[in-house]
Amino acid sequence: MRRRSSRLEEEEGGGGSKTTSASSSSSIPPLAPHRQHCTQVRTRRLMKELQEIRRLGDNFITVELVEDNLYDWNVKLHQVDKDSALWQDMKETSTEFILLNVTFPDNFPFSPPFMRVLTPRLENGYVLDGGAICMELLTPRGWSSAYTVEAVMRQFAASLVKGQGRICRKAGKSKKAFSRKEAEATFKSLVKTHEKYGWVSPPVSDG
């Protein structure tokens, strides 16, 4: 997996542009120093990554901010392995991209983002109920601050194919939207199970 450059790592340690000063209103307390630092690191990192993604020329992914929120991205995955059944599904159903939502916590990049599939509705490919994604690198234990969003998306694209992901075409079910609440609950259960058994197939009783 591609990791970000050492230059990016150095920039997160300090320096960078100053953030806009807090409101002078006495009713709004300033951010605690530690939290303010985390916010600055997250902002610098995401702005840098967004610029790099937009410079990509291979049309692998494109990003749109949700309501101009730098910490909430809709990511369009335009390409998977062209020899895969999933790519054939995309062609046959005129699906131009797989849409994912990625949200970044306050302490990103030191904690992983939460990522889920929005559309189309997928089966297998390590995509679970609600659009939750079964990937160790998206868990606190498997995450590294060196991972870039682009690298995570490339790993996800590979996992879709490896897990024999397909676009759901069942009547009724294919039109049912994934929900964030269900995705969060599924992912929380997934992490708990793998913390107990490791990243191997758990006993049947645990799903």
Q: Of 132, 134, 135, 183, which residue is the catalytic one?
A: 134
Closest CA to 156 of 186, 132, 135, 130: 135
User: Which residue is listed with tokens 């960078």?
Assistant: 16
Selection from 106, 96, 165 nearest residue 131 by Cα = 165
Asked if residue 207 has pLDDT above 50, the reply is no
Q: What's the rounded mean pLDDT across residues 92-110? A: 97
pTM to 2 decimals?
0.76
What is residue 172's predicted lDDT score, i.e. its pLDDT?
62
> What is the pLDDT at residue 10?
44
Which residue is listed with tokens 């199970």? 193
Q: What is the pLDDT of residues 113-155, one digit of tens each?
A: 999 999 999 999 999 999 999 999 999 999 999 999 999 999 9
Instruction: Give the domain ranges of the chain.
Output: 6-11+31-197
Is 38 a known active-site residue? no
Given this structure, which CATH class describes domain 6-11+31-197? Answer: alpha beta
For residue 200, report the phi and psi dihedrals to the nearest 5 degrees.
Answer: -135, 170
pLDDT at 201 over 50: no
